[in-house]
Copies of this chain bind each other. A is one copy, B any other.
């Protein structure tokens, strides 16, 4: 008897999340420039765990309690934080074996928003193959959740969603149940021949460039730099790739 395929959906903005929410979903959080790329870099570089917090007040309180804190709003490092949101901050020398508190404009809020789900994992080009293989093995519905920019639509998150969706669909174990999957796969196929060139059109690229923060874009678009799969368990992100 043919096995039923699992649902595959893409949510293009946190404002639409409630339409896609389901306790059975494996939710992939996507904030390519830069939160989820940075989380993958930090976990790859040996961070013990990352505690994502949604608000600036929570981040400040955790700093007072002695944690190392990465925190930014609109690309700016918050004054009390140890550093901001560039993946280049999270070097092995700085983060290895540390617990880090992390709060960003968009990405970390989505982690909490999806925390009712069966699993919440972190996706970026850095870990795309490892993550795709893990998702295919789980035999559960998948929702790719684009953090986007302040609730709007984000080109780079959508293109990544398409790249991941294409791999899941190619496994034969998933079926798309929404137009957002179709659109993101089509945009990924447009972008793929020159991903870096295509992402020059993204508004977030201009936001980062205006603050001198665009040095990490090529890094954030480079696939398969790590096998880690950061997952939200309890109150923190830990690597589950070897579980």
Contact = CB atoms under 8 A, between A and B. Distances in A.
A154 B177 CA distance: 12
A201 interface: yes
Nearest to A180: B153
Given A16-B13, A19-B15, A180 B152 contact: yes
A186 B178 contact: no
B155 A179 contact: yes
B152 A16 contact: yes
A213 interface: no
Interface string A58-99: 000000000000000000000000000000000000000000
A227 B20 CA distance: 38
Nearest to A151: B19
A101 interface: no
A178 B153 contact: yes
B187 A153 contact: no
Contacts of A180: 152-153
A32 to B, nearest CB: 12
A25 to B, nearest CB: 15
A183 interface: yes
A55 interface: no
Contacts of A186: 187, 190
Output the residue of A15, A154, A187 with the most chain B CB within 10 A. A15
A239 B201 CA distance: 37
A6 interface: no
Contacts of A153: 12, 16, 178-180, 183
A158 interface: yes
A12 B10 CA distance: 13
A129 interface: no
A229 to B, nearest CB: 27
B15 A16 contact: yes
Given A12-B12, A16-B16, A16-B151, 20 more contacts: A12-B153, A13-B16, A15-B16, A15-B18, A18-B151, A20-B152, A153-B178, A153-B179, A155-B182, A155-B183, A158-B179, A179-B201, A179-B202, A179-B203, A182-B201, A182-B202, A183-B187, A186-B187, A186-B190, A187-B187
Identify the 3 closest CB pairs spanning chains A and B, nearest first. Answer: A155-B179, A153-B180, A15-B15
